[in-house]
Amino acid sequence: MKWNDLGTDPCPVARSLSVIGDRWTMLVVRECFFGIRRFDQMQQRLGITRHVLADRLRTLETAGVLGREAYQERPVRYEYRLTERGKALYPVLVALIDWANEAVPLDGPPSVVLVSRETGAPIDPLLIDATTGTPVTTRTVTAQAN
């Protein structure tokens, strides 16, 4: 199967990867969650070529993850803002941060720590079933073909 065909694959993991599976795409999304909205700021922070960044932004906009809003008329320049679909990726980003801090640690303290907005204390993320409150683990949940 070709990469471009993943968007219509019956597997939800494949369809997800058709949007966010590129190595730069989740970094672009991360920047948006960090409040970076402008092309030049993203390019500078990521060290990515203009061509690649423009392509990733276009893909995310087409997928409904980002919306584009003009902030300047001459020349026209845009800000990229997370849509509701994009904001729904936050748990994915949190899971990646938590996983990397545990499974692929740096020498020394982690560069990003997840903290409570309310208390400022570090948090320990946990995926739970909203219906039962049961933690979602390999022992409590399995994926079943429908």
What are the angstrom distances between the C-alpha of 146 and each of 6, 10, 11, 138? 18, 10, 10, 19
Summarize pLDDT for 69-105 with one digit per residue, the tens.
999 999 999 999 999 999 999 999 999 999 999 999 9
Residue 27, CB-side half-sphere exposure with 13 Å CA sphere: 14
**What pLDDT digit, counting tens, does each position of 113-134 carry?**
999 999 999 999 999 999 999 9
Domain residue ranges in the chain: 3-85
CATH architecture for the domain at 3-85:
Orthogonal Bundle (1.10)
**Rounded to whole angstroms, how far apart are CA atoms 137 and 146?**
20
Name 38's bridge partners: 79
* Residue whose C-alpha is closest to residue 63's, from 109, 39, 29: 29
* Residue 49 reports pLDDT greater than 70: yes
Average pLDDT, the chain: 92
Using an 8 Å Cβ cutoff, are 28 and 56 in contact? yes
